Amino acid sequence: MSRNRVTVIDIARAAGVSKSTVSLVLQSSPLVKEETRARVSEAIRDLGYVYNRGAAHLRQAKSKIIGIVVNDLTNSFFAELAVGMDMIVQSAGYVQFLAHAGEDVERQRELINSMREHGIAGLILSPARGTSAADLKPLADSGLPVVVVVRNVAGTRVSSLLSDNGAGARDAVRHLVGLGHRRIAFAGGFPDTQVFAERVAGYRDGLAEAGIAVDEALVIGSAPSRAGGAAAVERMLAGDGDAPTAALCFNDAVAFGVCDGLRARRLEPGVDFSVVGFDDVIEARTAVPALTTVAVDPQRMGQRAAQLLFKQINAGTAEPETIRTPVRLVVRQSTAAPARSRELS
């Protein structure tokens, strides 16, 4: 350790915390637990550290950095979402810090803390599963411009940009019913997320509108991934009752997995079984068969999220607003009238 100048790194090492945590304590951030704050404060006193608050404020005033934290960058929907954000961020003369939370709330918290240490001008967050209003309250209290995108977090005081999940699911069911399907499954997604709840509610509404009773055995949660879709097929077609002839999937990744699972059982998507996705990622157009899906337009959604954030930054206020964007059904080759000449089990 230098005799002449104690650094933030020295404090972090002495307190057993990260550099970003020390910075947040120095900035009197409410994001730090009291026990941790006390430990860091003790290390600061013991080492005789002097915080140059004027220099810190100068760095923050010049910030041209936007923080972006996404819950799952392995899903191409979120990759396209991030591309849309980047278009607006770059055009505004800012740079972005893009990070992957991996559906881990604690990792998400650490990423946001680190970004705030670097003096971000604003934050766009696609929340990790399990994020609560309490997790976002310190951000709202600090006045930092924040936009939550894709997943709603009830009870927050930050801006939100969401898609019309219920209407999209309802339109998808109407399409399948119009083709003659009566046994329609809902496949994929984590049941404890708001997006799942909204899309399943739209699915139920579509069935009720057609006078079809919901079979709870056909509402099948799974990881919102290709592997989750393949696993959902096993559950959809394993029952003793009438097997479904179609499925509305939580997202396109699940739909691709459902197609894989059907082919493993020698069933052809779009011929023996109809499949509808949700999102309309780029691969949906080139898949075989091309995927019928509910188009959310993730790149455009990313652009709108960034525009909403810059609206707050430029206004100098974090006044929250909620926007729900429309969606549309795109019909392709993965849906058709029920195949009545083959058994599905």
Here the CATH number for the domain that contains residue 212 is 3.40.50.2300
Q: What is the per-residue pLDDT for 343?
A: 45
Kindly state whether residue 309 falls inside one of the protein's structural domains.
yes
Q: 305 and 157 share a domain?
A: yes
Q: What is the per-residue pLDDT for 163?
A: 97
Kindly state whether residue 341 falls inside one of the protein's structural domains.
no
Kindly state whether residue 345 falls inside one of the protein's structural domains.
no
Residue 59 clears pLDDT 70, i.e. is over it:
no
Q: How far apart are CA 193 and CA 72, in angstroms?
A: 14
- pTM to 2 decimal places: 0.80
Res. 341 pLDDT band, cuts 50 70 90 = very low
Q: What is the per-residue pLDDT for 55?
A: 54
Q: Tell me the two tokens of residue 278.
A: 């949700």
Q: Tell me the two tokens of residue 186.
A: 């809902």
- The number of helices, as runs of H, and strands, as runs of E, in the chain is 13, 12
Tens digits of per-residue pLDDT, 174-231?
999 999 999 999 999 999 999 999 999 999 999 999 999 999 999 999 999 999 999 9
Q: Which of 17-31, 149-163, 210-224, 328-342 has the lowest average pLDDT?
A: 17-31
Contacts of 263 (CB under 8 A, 6+ apart): 269
Question: 29, 142 in Cβ contact below 8 A?
Answer: yes
Q: 257 and 169 share a domain?
A: yes
Q: 114 and 156 share a domain?
A: yes
Residue 342 clears pLDDT 50, i.e. is over it:
no
- Among candidate residues 284, 314, 283, 297, the one with its CA nearest the CA of residue 149: 297
- Among candidate residues 125, 3, 120, the one with its CA nearest the CA of residue 69: 125
Q: 255 and 199 share a domain?
A: yes
Q: 100 and 45 share a domain?
A: no
Q: What is the per-residue pLDDT for 85?
A: 97
Q: What is the per-residue pLDDT for 316?
A: 82
Q: 201 and 279 share a domain?
A: yes
Residue 309 clears pLDDT 50, i.e. is over it:
yes
Kindly state whether residue 335 falls inside one of the protein's structural domains.
no
| Domain assignment of residue 117, given as a range | 62-163+297-326
Q: What is the per-residue pLDDT for 53?
A: 55
Q: What is the mean pLDDT of residues 302-328?
A: 91
Q: What is the per-residue pLDDT for 2?
A: 42
Res. 25 pLDDT band, cuts 50 70 90 = confident
Res. 50 pLDDT band, cuts 50 70 90 = low
Kindly state whether residue 212 falls inside one of the protein's structural domains.
yes
Q: What is the per-residue pLDDT for 183?
A: 96
Res. 276 pLDDT band, cuts 50 70 90 = very high
Q: How far apart are CA 263 and CA 258, in angstroms?
A: 9
Q: How far apart are CA 289 and CA 197, in angstroms?
A: 28
Give the number of domains in the chain. Answer: 3
Q: 255 and 309 share a domain?
A: no
Q: 93 and 45 share a domain?
A: no
Strand partners, 126: 70
Residue 98 clears pLDDT 90, i.e. is over it:
yes
Q: Tell me the two tokens of residue 152.
A: 């709603």
3-state secondary structure of 256: helix
- Among candidate residues 147, 123, 112, the one with its CA nearest the CA of residue 68: 123
Q: 200 and 286 share a domain?
A: yes
Kindly state whether residue 333 falls inside one of the protein's structural domains.
no
Kindly state whether residue 3 falls inside one of the protein's structural domains.
no
Mean pLDDT, the chain, integer: 90
Helix axes 226-236, 252-264, angle to 10 degrees: 50
Q: What is the per-residue pLDDT for 68?
A: 97
In angstroms, the Cα distances linking 126 to 82, 152, 196, 274, 293 are 10, 9, 15, 30, 22
Q: How far apart are CA 200 and CA 99, in angstroms?
A: 29
Kindly state whether residue 1 falls inside one of the protein's structural domains.
no
Q: 181 and 280 share a domain?
A: yes
Percentage of residues in the chain having pLDDT higher than 70: 91
Q: How far apart are CA 211 and CA 204, in angstroms?
A: 10
Residue with tokens 């392709």: 332
